[in-house]
Amino acid sequence: MTISLKHTFTSAKTDSADATLVQPSNWNQEHVLTAAAGKVLGRDTSGAGAVQELPISVTSAGNVTIPNNFAVTGTTGLTGNTTVTGTLGVTGAATLSSTLGVTGATTLSSTLAVTGATTLTTALGVASGGTGLATLTANNVLIGNGTSAVTSVAPGTSGNVLTSNGTTWASTAISSGVSFPQNSQSANYTLVIGDAGKQIFHPVADTTVRTYTIPANASVAFPIGTVVLFTVENGGTTVGVVITSDTLVYGNGTTGSIAVAANQTLMCIKVTATKWMANYLYQTGTPASYTTGEIIAVAHTASPYVSVYSFNSSTGFGAKLTNPATLPATTNGYGVAFNPAGTAIAVGGGPFGGFITAYPWSGAGFGTKYTDPATLPTGTGRGVAFNPAGTSIAVAHSTAPNITAYPFNAGTGFGTKYTNPATAVGGNGYGVAFNPAGDTIAVGHDASPYINAYPWNAGTGFGVKYTNPATLPTGTGFGVAFNPAGTSIAVANGSGVTPNITAYPWSGAGFGTKYTNPATLPTGEGYGVAFSPAGTAIAVAHDVSPFVSVYPWNAGTGFGTKYADPATAVAGYGNGVAFNNTGSAIAIAHQTSPYITAYPWSGSAFGTKYTNPATLPTGLGYGVAFTTVT
């Protein structure tokens, strides 16, 4: 670019012949400007004045060096190399077709387009779109690191692949086969998204039946095609694989929960958003269902002596569960009880052996029968009860001492029999119950005083018998129960003498003054008695129609006015009665088919009788119990 510097006036005169004079043409010629090498002429911002040499250098090749700050408020177009050693500020668009070098801060409020090289002496941070690093190792894979500088993964050994461990990435060798990393669980467990492709393992060291839950898709959205294995170590304890609200299908199309026994592996594959399909990879025996929720058990005459069903308080009886592999060695089942955790079931029976039999219990049903106690009860087992901690079990039976109790462990079964009470039960034992605190045991029997109560200690057994109630029951104590608060005790009694139900306040001092008999008595001898879980109702099973009577209950005042009988009566003598754990259903074990009858219970009235179970108990019903499996 040519710089022109002339006077504004142009002379029209011709030059003279005297060459020593300044001629008009000389006035009109360009003036010569002289500056130091590589300088730019201009004026800084100090105000109007003489032209200055500005501190910007330019080479003959067109490279520009700006030693301090460079601010542009319009469009900037640079086609040569530009170096700025101070701050660069551009408020308009900037286009560079060559190299831009900035050693200070750079501020751009619009677009910067660079077609040449750009050099920064400080690494561009992640927050500004950079990596935070001055160099990147050749061939490494970059890994995001939040606002910090990126990290990287080296290629590693030839043939490696980039693998996630659920948190970060690593270069790992390809497995020679399919791998299912193990997640060992010794407690009830619900899958998490990180369990996709894993094996959930139940080790032999954990002897408790566990439940492994597949959560609903709405909660944990495993991708379709996800595979999860469930394995129980050889010699281990069964687990139940359950699903929260979606569908689990196995076997011949059965839906629901499924058991995985020792030495088995169950493979579950997610096939739709809300459906999983399951099959055993290794299996001994046939697929076994795993039942969660409510369970009802009935002790009865005739083999198998105990029948167990799934139960739903809305719909009633479900399918009968498989009989135990080893049946009670008895001829009749009279009493049945679950331990409080729902992990064991015991059956009292007789008269020819099998006075007490117990099994592990889970959603898979009966486990392998516990070894019989070393010292058996001496006669037919009638009533059976566990203490609230599940650490003791008691059997009321015929033949002295008429009550026998043992330490109990759901993993190992019966312990060594406790010493008999110092003051014996006076007659054949029929009913037995522990109070809710677990510090008292009561036994109903067929000789006066018909009810005995003792302090109880799970470590030492029976204490010194409490004083008999001032007013005794009028006949055999067939059934006995404490209310849930432990402030009342009731005895279902018979021998043909009313009132057929007798109740007392209960405290640490023993029996209180007998409650007034109900205004409307049970119509026959009382055989079973139960309080509702809320403690607001008491039910009596008896031997004359309607075979069950229910009353309001108040621990301060006793019996209320009898509730209306069920619209569909129990079919025969009521021997046992129980409320389910939520108090929303009541069941009566009785003579005459169907041997077990159940109704919804509203808290103050019977509902419409549930349909009888599809497979009935095989004999007269005597005992009934509920539990809940989670």
**Mean pLDDT computed over 421-438:** 97
User: What does each C-alpha distance from 574 to 311, 478, 479, 611, 628 come to in angstroms?
Assistant: 20, 12, 12, 18, 24
**Mean pLDDT computed over 495-504:** 94
**Mean pLDDT computed over 535-552:** 98
* Tens digits of residue pLDDT in 219-264: 999 999 999 999 999 888 889 999 988 999 987 787 888 888 888 9
Handedness of CA 348, 354, 355, 358 (dihedral sign): negative
Tell me: pLDDT of 1 over 60.
no
Helix (H) or strand (E) segment spanning residue 167 = none
Q: What domains does the chain contain, in order, with CATH numbers?
A: 24-120 (no CATH), 182-290 (2.60.120.640), 377-617 (2.130.10.10)
Report the pLDDT value the prediction gives residue 629, as an integer from 0 to 100.
85
What is the pLDDT of the chain when averaged over all its residues? 89
Cβ atoms of 524 and 537 closer than 8 Å: no
- Comparing 261 with 121, the larger pLDDT belongs to 261
Sheet architecture: strand order including 76-78: 76-78, 94-96, 112-114
**Top mean-pLDDT range of 24-28, 63-67, 350-354:** 350-354
User: What does each C-alpha distance from 283 to 143, 261, 263, 267, 362 come to in angstroms?
Assistant: 44, 8, 7, 11, 19
What is the distance between the alpha carbons of residues 348 and 334, in angstroms, rounded to a whole number? 6
∠ CA(547), CA(552), CA(553), 5° rounding? 110
**Top mean-pLDDT range of 36-45, 146-155, 477-486:** 477-486
Tell me: pLDDT of 340 over 70.
yes
Report the pLDDT value the prediction gives residue 51, as an integer from 0 to 100.
80
Report the pLDDT value the prediction gives residue 445, as an integer from 0 to 100.
97
**What phi and psi, each to the nearest 5 degrees, are found at residue 121?**
-80, -15
For the record, the structure tokens of 492 come out as: 């279902």
DSSP code for 27: H
Beta-strand ranges (E) seen in 283-386 are 288-290, 293-300, 306-312, 316-320, 333-338, 344-349, 356-362, 365-366, 381-386
As to burial, measured by CB atoms within 10 angstroms (0-12 exposed, 13-18 middle, 19+ buried), residue 317 is buried
What is the distance between the alpha carbons of residues 234 and 204, in angstroms, rounded to a whole number? 7
* Tens digits of residue pLDDT in 592-629: 999 999 999 999 999 999 999 999 999 999 999 999 98
**Mean pLDDT computed over 204-218:** 92
Q: Which residues pair with 250 in a beta bridge?
A: 254, 278
Tell me: pLDDT of 60 over 80.
no
Beta-strand ranges (E) seen in 217-313 are 227-232, 239-243, 247-250, 254-255, 257-260, 264-272, 275-282, 288-290, 293-300, 306-312
